Structure 1
Amino acid sequence: MTTPDHQSPLPDASRPEARDRIYRSPAGIVGGVLLLLIVGWLGLDALISGHGRTPWLALAGLILIVPVVIAFTLRPAVYANEDRLRIRNPLRVIVLPWGKVASLRSHYSNEVVDTSGTKYQLWSVPVSLRARKKAARQAAQGPDGRGGDGRPSSLGRASAFGRGAAADVPSRAEADRVMDELRELAEARATADGAQGEVTVRWAYEVMGPALAGAVVLAILLIVG
């Protein structure tokens, strides 16, 4: 599941700046915090109570593990406004103007495809097959929990496409609703002047650097013995 939020980017003097819709995975954030607490507790215990090489190994392990945990749990996010889609994945940041977005696909993972055919996965919008099945059951049951003649009620059929009384019957999984919003933005802004440009991809050296340094130090300590 993902939760949208809003954030105002730096102001642009030429025109009112669009507000970002921010999508993150609550489950990823909770899991990341728990992992960091466990790793931090074990690492600090080894640093304080360890003997010989143990504190150094613990320190190198922390330098390696902490950035990796952050990268794959707390870091992923999707930022969308009227001009572009910015995807912050564990190791890369991809910026796609809406004019370069060819499609947004949902199957076993959610991904965006640019006009050149390159695919980029949306790490912060994970697919939950369980949530999809639950939403489908709720849509079939209707507002009173019964399907009447055994078929989906008109309310369920309408909200299955994110319309009608979707607020009353959550007939779409959260990740699917996020993808619906992104598709609407892509369709509405594809030809807008402010939504044109080139796709840019930047590696997350701020994550890769510390992790690589920790791995090198850990390897040296293990080799030296």
Structure 2
Amino acid sequence: MTSPTPSSEPTYADRTFRSPAGLVGGALLLLLILWIGVDAAIRGEGRVPWMALAGLLTAVPLVIAFTVRPVVSANDRRIRIRNPFRTITLPWTDVADVRASYSSELFTQDGTKYQLWAVPVSLRQRKKAARRQSRQSMDDPYGRTSVTADVRATKALTAGADQAMVDLREMAERAGDTPVAGDAVASVRWAYEVIAPAVVGAVLLVVLGATG
């Protein structure tokens, strides 16, 4: 009996970025939709149960797509962006920049732009961070001297999306511009597991509404 040959490709740990508010909001919205839809399917009469089931088939995948599904995972080789309907995988050598203005965006070397749904920009959070930075610049009552304290203070004074962009840029800089053996291959995959049920549910709703 031969032992399995270990993989020659090193394992890289992923760092993930996602929206906690999106996860919580999505979970609550799913519970509400399921409660209303299942209740209508069980207690409804005539076409109501079928309409409820078609509505669930449409709504549940869409809610999952826009709240639970989005995530950005990155390691030393590549970045993977899982948006509502697509998953984009890019080696760092293909990435020109990541930035957050009114939304978080990634730009490739050929000018293609991808939105990072998992890292939403909060203007309110930015304003709060700016106020904290202003107060910090006028007076620091803590008298920080250690490097660790300074780093923690800087992160505390930065909005979440902006800090995520800083972290991703640092990962891109560490990766460098030179391709390495076994580097990730750029790819874009459509999320048919989300699109297909939503489309089927929408078609059923239209058919049931037109024949009712």
Asked whether the two chains share a fold, i.e. TM above 0.5, the reply is yes
1:173 aligns with 2:159: yes
Deviations 1:150-187 (A, max 9, x none): xxx6x9xxxxxxx9713135111111111101001112
Structure with the larger RCO, 1 or 2 (CA within 8 Å, 6+ apart): 2
Could you tell me how far apart the structure 1 residues matched to 2:207 and 2:65 are? 24
Deviations 1:45-91 (A, max 9, x none): 10111000000000000000000000000000000000000000000
Superposed displacement of residue 218, structure 1: 1.1
Could you tell me how far apart the structure 2 residues matched to 1:92 and 1:168 are? 36
1:138 aligns with 2:125: no
1:185 aligns with 2:171: yes
**Would you say the 8 A contact 1:97–1:195 is kept in 2?**
no
Could you tell me how far apart the structure 1 residues matched to 2:125 and 2:150 are? 19
Aligned residue pairs, count? 201
1:45 aligns with 2:58: no
Could you tell me how far apart the structure 2 residues matched to 1:195 and 1:136 are? 42
Alignment partner, residue 55 of structure 2: 61
Unpaired runs of 5+ in structure 1? 1-11, 156-162
**Would you say the 8 A contact 2:9–2:182 is kept in 1?**
no
Alignment partner, residue 138 of structure 2: 147
TM-score normalised by L of structure 2: 0.88
Alignment partner, residue 212 of structure 1: 199
Could you tell me how far apart the structure 1 residues matched to 2:180 and 2:19 are? 31
Unpaired runs of 5+ in structure 2? 1-5, 143-147
| Percent identical residues | 52
SS in 2 for 1:166: helix
**Would you say the 8 A contact 2:91–2:186 is kept in 1?**
yes
Select which of 62, 81, 86 maps to 2:80.
Answer: 86
Return structure 1 stretches of 4+ with deviation > 4 angstroms: 194-198
Higher helix share: 2
Could you tell me how far apart the structure 2 residues matched to 1:51 and 1:216 are? 21
Specify whether residues 118 and 164 from structure 1 end up closer, same or farther in structure 2 by C-alpha distance, changes over 3 A only: farther
Could you tell me how far apart the structure 1 residues matched to 2:24 and 2:49 are? 28
SS in 2 for 1:117: coil
Residue identity matched to 2:186: V
Give the CA RMSD over aligned residues: 2.2
Could you tell me how far apart the structure 2 residues matched to 1:37 and 1:106 are? 32
